[in-house]
Structure 1
Amino acid sequence: MKKILLVPIALLLGFYSFSQTQVRYLDSLGQTLHSLSEANQLQAINKIPYDKFVGDVRTSENLFFKGVDLAIKLEDSTTLGDIYLKLGQIYAYKENFEKRTEYVLKSIKIYESLGKHVKAGIAYGQLGYNLKYSDMENALRYMRKGIKLLEQEKNTTEIDPLYDNYGIVLTINKKRDSALFYTKKSLNLKKKLKDSVGLGYGYANVATVYADDNKLELAKIYIDSSSAVRTKIKDSYGIAVNYTHLADVLLKQNLFSDAIKNYQISASLAKKGKYKGLERYCYESISNAYVQMNDYKQAYLFGKKFQTLKDSVLNIETSNKVEQLKIEFETEKKENEILLQRADLAEKERDISEKNSFILGLAGLAAVISLLGFLVYNQQKLKNKQLKKEGELKEALVKIETQNHLQEQRLRISRDLHDNIGAQLTFIISSLDNLKYGFKLPDNLNVKLETISQFTTSTIYELRDTIWAMNKSEISIEDLQSRISNFIEKANTSSDAINFNFQVNKEVNSNKLFTSVQGMNIYRIIQEAVNNALKYANATVIDVQIFSKNDDFELIITDNGTGFNIKDVTDGNGLQNIKKRAHDLNAKLDIISSENQGTKIHVYKFENT
């Protein structure tokens, strides 16, 4: 086991210098561009090696956008297609799937219009590889199309990585024999071409196939070979990935502690390199490893880190789709229940009619008048019951239709907020960052830009909270607990000097439901109180507690800060907002504070909850 860990330790010692080398390469390029002609600037940007631009995706993204502007100005369509394809790779690493696909498709359109079959084949291969987890059928189709184009042109240099990626997609599709054929075929081509960058990927991809087939010792051998190559060429992303490859193998061998160490190193390197997908995968794998070790506390902590990274624009869109499917399922379920109730009513009506006929035959002529009276009364009673049931069923249908309509409106509004306002706010932040990093600005102007950026970021978080509430017709205690935990986790991260405590007592009914408005008001009261304590109270401890007393839901937020004299203080926006939201909840509110004694905010006796 010690032998296995030697390579990762050596890689870790060298990684930071490797990463700095790549950053220096891009920074140096950015500084020298202004001394070149526009045509030479464009070529210099387009020639940035793959291992260099994935080592610093943020700087590379800015350089490639500069290249797009130059290519359009110089009417250089081929180079424009090349840079679009590289932007697609950048956004794949940044997990912006919409932009990833957008730029790859742009490159394909340009190459096909120019008759550049080799380049079109490469782009089709990248498009297919991008779809490997979301659309396997089209992933295989696009990759085969790319391979066919390159084989027709007999281009062994460019087809090499496409064979490699195709092998990985086949591995995911559990076609291991075919996967091993293509990955080894690619590896042999890399050796012939002396492709130093590609060799690291080639060895690693063969290792992935062997690991998936549980041939773990073979997998380790190929991982070691990949690590040696990547260390030599200073491939920072590849080094980070190799920790994960080794950890996956160790996990399959039930060597949980060693696997976790390698995942943690990979996550640290991924965070530094801004490889969010890799970082998220490591946290999820660590959480699963701790579950297998029965250490549920650590599993929960790393699971939260995984969920924090997972919470993104894509998550909001995916949640909307899942919610829509849920609505359709629930509607169908209720309609089936209504049909069953109607059938049951009809069956009961037939049974009663048969019994009445039988009684009428036995009773004879002497009881005809009384029986007719009874039957008329009984039939009317049944009719009234039936009418009542049908009325209830109609009301239930109308209610379902209204709920569906309201939910569709919520989803449409939330999508509009996200797609329009959210995108515009994100553009503002991106523009401010470009101003700060692209121009030398006075310090006071930098401070103002930073303030605007922080305010805009805060607005995006508030917008996400609003969309979260809008997408739910009801909010449970678990929903609130999860949302509040995320908020306090972020507050805790940004304020190391403050100790945050959040507790939901066991007596709180986990099945209790609030409306979306009630849930949002409770969340905002906690958020406002914590923010006030952070900004004005100089507190070192902030406690948030949710508990139940005599079947009533209660909320207490306390801090040990400077406090204030309630009689002498005019309500600011924070206290006014808390009072207004408590009023909207029909709840009672006590604010207890005195100078140097901290502050306690108590919300209780919620009505209609």
Structure 2
Amino acid sequence: MKLRLAYFFIIFWICNFFAQKTSYSDSLQNAITNLPKEIQLKKIVQFPYDKFVGDISNSEKIIQKGKDLAISLNDSLSLAEIYFKLSQISAYKDKNDQKIDYILTAIKIYENLGETLKAGVAYGQLGYSIKRNDMDKAFYYMRMSIKLIESTNDNTLIDPIYDNYGTLHLLNKNADSALYYHKKSLVLKKQLKDNIGLGYGYANLADTFSELKKFNIAKKYIDSSLTIRQKLNDNYGIAVSYTHIGDINFAEKKYEEAIKNFKKSGDLAKKYKYQHLEKYCAELITQCYLELNDYKNAYAYNKIFQTLKDSTTNIQINTRVAELQIEFETEKKEKEIAQQKEQLLKSELEIKNKNLYALLLGSGLLIFSLVSLGLYKRQQHKKREYLNQLQLKEAQTYSKLQDQRLQISRDLHDNIGSQLTFIISSIDNLKFLTDATNEKLKNKLSEINQFATSTIAQLRDTIWAMNKSEITFEDFYSRTLALIEKAKLVSENIHFNIENKITSKIIFSSIKGMNIFRVFQEAINNTIKYAEATEINIHISENKNAITFLINDNGKGFDKNTTELGNGLENMERRILEIGGEIFINSEINKGTSIKIVCPKN
């Protein structure tokens, strides 16, 4: 019974072992054998990158079959996809000329089909592929790729391009830029949950931090990369991770540890036919042994490296790569020249048609312009006549209004003024005729005399304003000074300060000038009568659009919330609002009163 169980266990283990040895490429080959050609081609085009990299030899056979299928089915887009995959396989086989040839062929097909996005991806691969042959061209193609893909906002495609672009910067000894693009790519990989990409992203960051001599950080990143790749059974990724670890050891001058890791990577590269990686490991192992003065092993591994390198072939390959690039650029330029010639012929034909249309249109416009000009001149003549008549009427109306103003001011002066003067004279006479003991009557007569005198002063101010259609600021300022001089005679215990900062030429209308003057007059009279102030300050200033008058005193003030405003303050507000200005009255008990007037200059 025990022997039977052991037998079944051995059979199960053998079956499981061979099942595990069946690669994805073998499974794909078996799955598509009896399918229609179109379906076979579709399956090959969808062959995942991480799967065909794991088995280069068998994968190349399947993809070559896809090429034959695409050609027989005349499927150009699928053919371009196949060429792109073949370029990736050639890269792992270290066949640089084949790789470039395949990429350029893919780009031509994509561009002919108008597949801008796919062409952008291929340009990125082209730039990355020629990085060791022509760095300037590599950057040129990579930037072209980024520009084409960024315009589509496709994070899945731009992610590996950023990563490869960072590698170019690192090779160009620009570690800071490399770090920027690797980190930018890593953010996208995490967003997309791209585990395969994360392995590459962490490895690239490890290289960059190693270049910056930050070895501890570099080791953390490469350990993360190796862990991810081991979980995914990514043979190529595992091999590359050991190479990165070896690079870090070499940079730290830990040559024995570096040799162990390069050997691990080299063995895997040899097993899975990653010739470029095997060559790189042999070269670095040689350098490590040289650093350790172990010339015997250095010689042995250098022999392996030279066998893999084949310097003569490399020269031929580099020459062929350069030729392929020149052919590609020449073909593109020839195509652009042909398109430009075609466009030039179209443009010439369009110009001829446009010239004919322009001639016909110009003739029509000329006739229309002549007719329009005649009508316009006629209309302008009528308009000038109308404006002249209107100006004449306005001048006549203004002249009549001015005559009426003068007539009214003369009537006020001759009639009301003379009558008030007679009243004042009569009151003075009555004072002398009145009994000297009758003080009450004398006081009453004095009050009437003062009122009549004040009325005459106000009447004169009104006549002054009516006689003028405009009042200059200088005239206004003179009247204000005269007002202050009169106030000084009435209240000798109040000190007046006036400051004038007006420099520009300002002209008020008669109404505006009179209203501002009346507000000044009311403010000064109120202060004299009620404020018990010892000082009144007047400040006049201007800015670009307005003129500001500020009147403040150091009197007893009042509470605006509890004090009922009289007609005087209300009249002040009304007068300023009538001329489009603003007035601000602020007062506090025992802190005085401030009146601010802001009026537009115009």
So what's the TM-score if we normalise by structure 2? 0.49
**Higher radius of gyration, 1 or 2:** 2
So what's the TM-score if we normalise by structure 1? 0.48
